[in-house]
Amino acid sequence: DAKTTQPTSMDCAEGRAANLPCNHSTISGNEYVYWYRQIHSQGPQYIIHGLKNNETNEMASLIITEDRKSSTLILPHATLRDTAVYYCIVRVPYGGSQGNLIFGKGTKLSVKP
């Protein structure tokens, strides 16, 4: 079972920041938080990951709370092409079955003009 809880759906206005929350209250000390997204009719796409510090890349920012029990993915200026299902996943950062991705239901983000 997925170890994360996300809202089922969210709306965001085009050009505004999209903030997607994720709860992972049972996360263990060596587990990372990963975010993927899946645009309709395509395979999932990696976005970002982090352990405890905030992370930023060209796609998004990841804010992890100090107790690591929750995180927020931020798309700073959402566009219509960001409409997708966003998955928050916790996993250990090594190979073997323990490191496999377990996808939950995700959050369907709809960016509206």
Partner 1 sequence: DVKVTQSSRYLVKRTGEKVFLECVQDMDHENMFWYRQDPGLGLRLIYFSYDVKMKEKGDIPEGYSVSREKKERFSLILESASTNQTSMYLCASSLGGLYNEQFFGPGTRLTVL
Chain positions contacting partner 1, by CB under 8 A: 2, 32, 34, 41-46, 49, 93-97, 99-106
Report helix, strand or coil for 80: helix
Residue (53 or 97) nearer to partner 1, CB: 97
- Residue 105 Cβ vs partner 1, minimum distance, rounded to whole Å: 6
Minimum distance from residue 37 beta carbon to partner 1 (Å)? 11
Six token digits for residue 108? 């369907």
C-beta of 107: minimal distance to partner 1 in Å?
12
| Cβ proximity of 14 and 79 under 8 Å | yes
